[in-house]
Amino acid sequence: MGRDIVQRESPDLPGERSRLWCYEDVHKVLTQNTGSEKIRGIRICSPEPSKMKLEPECFEKMKNLKFFIVSNVDICRGLKYIPNELRVLDWFGFPLSSLPSNFDPQKLIALNMPENRVTLDKHFKRIQCKNLTYMNFNSNQYIRELPDLLSATPNVKKLDLRNCRKLVMIHDSIGCLDKLESWNLCGCIELQILPKCIAIKSLKYLYFFYCERVKRIPDIPQELENLEYLSLGHTAIRELPPSIENLTGLERLDIGSRFYSCQLPSSIYKLRHLHKLLLYGNVKFPKDVGIGRQAAACNSYCGFSKYCFPKLNFLKKLTSCFTHSEKCLLSGSKDLNLRESIIRFNRLNCLLIHNSKFLKKIPKLPESIREVDARNYTSLNSESLRKLIL
């Protein structure tokens, strides 16, 4: 019904309507430069990958354009103008190395430009985006440095830089963006230089997964009670700073690598709300903390409710600590051997065994078990298979 109303605004001249979404209408307006100030929004989406050659001045007549969304369309040629009234610029695969120099995005709220060619340092040194709350530049292979955003985008809440494989350096100011809630750097394989510290009290999610050259995490000088998820898996981090204890609201931690061992500090036991811990490779717990003390710590802090143990040796040694575990994932170990002591997990209801090619036997399981998910195993004997089926 709404589309019919917009269609009736100007049946024969699409450039005189308030919104455009029909591919043929958008193509006509942008390639023939027939837009007008009446247009508030454009969404161009092709069912099949297509190309469109814009007129460089095609937006000059659209002074009131509020949102522009492009999907599955390769738009060629340069642009001389983008309206300053834009609130949403959603352009997958933006083809140019820069936005027009006369673009002043004071009112921009969302900048969603995955797989584009824009280098951020050229733009955020000259513009102010006080209203910008969402930035997505994932899979941009032209960004080498994330510049100072504190003065340009002080209110950004979500910053997505996944798979920016050329990104090497992040400016110190990013660690002080006090409105930031989600910061995703997964797959930034060249990233090495991070802010010296993170003091973002609003931060909830921080991802460094597969940042293979990151050797340390920034210091955490003050309490960050809102951070729920910290992903450090498959990095070059060999130890966590004692200030990790300031992540008082942390619920999930991914840590470790198949290439490096990682030493956890004794302050790890102060994370009272941690209930999911994923360990990759050889992750070492503090030597100065005995098993009895670990058990006491787990009990007094309500325990960890979900675990992933790539090496069962760790599980075997600490069996007494984790009787409250509900879910256990065993994955990818060459030395996986389930012990009879697993029956002590009297609240374990789900056992996942993935890619464990050396597992030969499954012992008697706790009566609480309700689900066993075993995948890609090759050495499990027939007797254990019958037990699983029955």
Residue 198 confidence (pLDDT) = 96
Q: Do residues 67 and 86 touch, judged by C-beta distance below 8 A?
A: yes
Residue 8 confidence (pLDDT) = 77
Residue 170 has φ and ψ, to the nearest 5°, of -125, 130
Q: Report the C-alpha gap between 190 and 173 in whole angstroms.
A: 20
Q: Quick one: DSSP state of residue 210? A: T
CA distances 169 to 38, 113, 121, 190, 378, Å, are 43, 20, 11, 9, 44
Residue 55 has φ and ψ, to the nearest 5°, of -80, 130
Q: Do residues 276 and 304 touch, judged by C-beta distance below 8 A?
A: yes
Q: Do residues 62 and 41 touch, judged by C-beta distance below 8 A?
A: no
Q: Report the C-alpha gap between 197 and 219 in whole angstroms.
A: 4
| Phi-psi region at 57: left, alpha or beta (left = phi > 0; alpha = psi -120 to 50) | alpha
Read off the amino acid at residue 176: C
Q: Report the C-alpha gap between 344 and 84 in whole angstroms.
A: 64
Q: Report the C-alpha gap between 170 and 196 in whole angstroms.
A: 10
Other Cβ atoms closer than 10 A to 189: 15
Length of the chain: 390
Give the mean pLDDT per block of 10 residues along the chain (390 residues): 76 90 91 93 88 88 95 81 95 87 92 90 75 96 92 94 96 95 98 96 97 96 96 94 93 86 85 78 66 35 32 33 48 50 61 61 73 68 62
Which domains are present in the chain? 1-81 (no CATH), 82-389 (3.80.10.10)
Strand partners, 51: 74
Q: Quick one: DSSP state of residue 239? A: B
CA distances 32 to 37, 64, 135, Å, are 16, 19, 31
Residue closest to 67 by CA, chosen among 41, 47, 44, 46 = 41
**Strand ranges inside the chain, DSSP E:** 19-20, 41-53, 67-76, 88-91, 110-112, 134-136, 145-146, 158-160, 169-170, 182-184, 205-207, 229-233, 252-263, 276-284, 306-308, 327-331, 350-354, 371-375
Strand partners, 52: 75
Residue 336 confidence (pLDDT) = 47
Angle of CA points 57, 115, 201, to nearest 5°: 110
Residue 280 confidence (pLDDT) = 79
Residue bearing tokens 């009990």:
299
Residue 293 confidence (pLDDT) = 39
